[in-house]
Structure 1
Amino acid sequence: MTNQKVFKPYIIFALLMFCASFIYAQEEEFFEEDDSVTNVFNYGMLVNVQTTETVRKGAFELRILHRFGELDLTDFKSSVVDEFLGFDGSANIRFGFHFGISDNFQIGIGRTKISKVFDFEGKYKLIKQKEFGGTPFSATLYFNTAVSTRSFPEVGPNEFFDDLETPFEYKFSHRFTYNMQFLVSRKFSDKFSLELNPGILVKN
């Protein structure tokens, strides 16, 4: 039987991905001069999920996302000394650098271990939640373009494009992935914020 490898851009709609976080009050004020609510979330990301927050104007942020490797808790030397609690055997790691062009707009670049991916992102805060009779929520647009730099795997003799006649071959466009999210959040109190993250992912 002939093996077929179909490469089409596919779109994943994350229409009902909710992200709720309990956030404890800080000493700083939560309102700007125009009654805009600040610190809906403490940071621009919550675990692996984007939030509506952006980096402040002129601020530079280094963000490291790390997925630990396996640990053998029965072997202290192996897990703590040799593998440094899983850091040395990381399953995946990403370094990201972000800069605030303005208080509402940031840009960034990152590099991920798996697939040796470089990504470029932009994040713009469209709407700010108001405290007194204004907009009841915050909204931010996020866009990311990623390109894989790893070598393409070998293509077998029985792999074709969709027409089942043209032999398949990798193209430069197959290295790209696009991700866009429309983030909507509301700060209900100093300890609780809720966010909705609808998004589109396109992978070649």
Structure 2
Amino acid sequence: MRNWKISVLFLLVSTYLFAQDDLLNEIDTVAVDKRVNSSFKSLKIVNLESTKLASKGDLYFVVSHRFDYFKNGFDDFFGLDNANTRLQFVYGVTPWLSVHASRSGFNKTYEAAGKYSLMHQEEGGFPFEIVGFNSIAINTALEKDLLPLLEFEDRLSYVNQLLISRKFSDNLSLELAPTYFHENYVVDNNQDNSQFALGFGGRYKLTTRWSINMDYAAHLNRASNSPFTNPLSIGVDLETGGHVFQMHFTNSQAMHESGFLGNTSGKWSKSEIAFGFNLVRVF
């Protein structure tokens, strides 16, 4: 009888010890998420798309407003009498894919886009966040009366971008955006329809709610006599609970990608600078 009790006790102790080993093994094999998050707090730096995507199931409503240039002074109250608005919806389809739809006052442009994650920055691992962005825009302001040979496809423009960012610290994030875009109709006959640009941007966090942002895009094959120039934008982000409020100064009136990349006309040296803001609300 005593031997039976000792055998049962030995079996229970052994089972307990093996169970503890199994639990420890499970703890040891739990995958640790080393992804670096929040390189950028908003979907855009200023004009350039950031590497932030909408989370799965989130719907963003973005109201962007861009006033006219300062250069006319009090005649149009430093540009505030004239304004250009963009309304945009962004939806997170999956954790790695979001889709965009918008309408801009600039050239009465409709745009559809997709943004998708390719690689994640990881602590001690891959050093960059890489995101793809593709868009198609329709310029509905072109008039057939002025362009009698105009076809629907002439209204279209396409953008393909790689967004490559790195969060260097809790305060500093930088981004590089090599870009190919194609405009079926160009204002300058000397301008190639297929065009290339290299975008740069960054965010520096000032406080828990405030950051300063800047972006610039260098057009790499602009025609020598083109009336257009490179877009440069500087602004601040304010995080206020459920939304981000972006305020900025820029020489670009357009807010969709092919518009500001290929059709920016303002020059900072001539006070052709506009005040604008983006109001981002998440549902």
Assess if the C-alpha contact under 8 Å between 2:162 and 2:177 holds in 1. Answer: yes
Q: Is 1:203 the equivalent of 2:183? A: yes
Name the counterpart of 1:161.
none
Q: Is 1:143 the equivalent of 2:123? A: no
Assess if the C-alpha contact under 8 Å between 1:119 and 1:147 holds in 2. Answer: yes
Bigger CA radius of gyration:
2
Unaligned 5+ segments in structure 2 are 1-30, 185-283
Identity of aligned residues (%): 31
Of stretches 185-194 and 33-42 in structure 1, the one that deviates more from structure 2 is 33-42
Alpha-carbon distance in structure 2 between the residues aligned to 1:140 and 1:57: 16
Unaligned 5+ segments in structure 1 are 1-31, 157-167
* Greater RCO, 1 or 2 (C-alpha within 8 Å, sep 6+): 1
Deviations 1:103-145 (A, max 9, x none): 22100100011211110000001111001x2111100000010
**TM-score by structure 1 length?**
0.68
Name the counterpart of 1:19.
none
Alpha-carbon distance in structure 2 between the residues aligned to 1:70 and 1:101: 37
Name the counterpart of 1:64.
63
Q: Helix, strand or coil: the match of 2:168?
A: strand
Match of 2:107 among 91, 108, 115: 115
Q: Structure 2: which amino acid aligns with 1:130?
A: E
Structure 1 residue 33 displacement after superposition: 5.2
**TM-score by structure 2 length?**
0.50
Q: Helix, strand or coil: the match of 1:45?
A: coil
Q: Greater helix percent: which structure?
A: 2
Within a 5 Å distance, the mapping from 1:146-185 to structure 2 comes to 146-155=137-146, 169-185=149-165
Within a 5 Å distance, the mapping from 1:1-204 to structure 2 comes to 34-69=33-68, 79=77, 86=80, 89-90=82-83, 92-131=84-123, 133-155=124-146, 169-204=149-184
Alpha-carbon distance in structure 1 between the residues aligned to 2:87 and 2:157: 18
Alpha-carbon distance in structure 2 between the residues aligned to 1:48 and 1:41: 13
- The root-mean-square deviation of aligned C-alpha atoms, in Å, is 2.4
Deviations 1:68-122 (A, max 9, x none): 13567758xx84xxx9x82x520x2211110001222100100011211110000
Q: Structure 2: which amino acid aligns with 1:146?
A: A
Assess if the C-alpha contact under 8 Å between 1:116 and 1:148 holds in 2. Answer: yes
Q: Helix, strand or coil: the match of 1:174?
A: helix
Assess if the C-alpha contact under 8 Å between 1:155 and 1:169 holds in 2. Answer: no
Alpha-carbon distance in structure 1 between the residues aligned to 2:98 and 2:111: 14
Structure 1 residue 153 displacement after superposition: 4.6
Deviations 1:41-60 (A, max 9, x none): 11110111111110111111
Aligned residue pair count: 153
Alpha-carbon distance in structure 1 between the residues aligned to 2:140 and 2:172: 40
Assess if the C-alpha contact under 8 Å between 2:136 and 2:158 holds in 1. Answer: yes
Structure 1 residue 151 displacement after superposition: 4.6
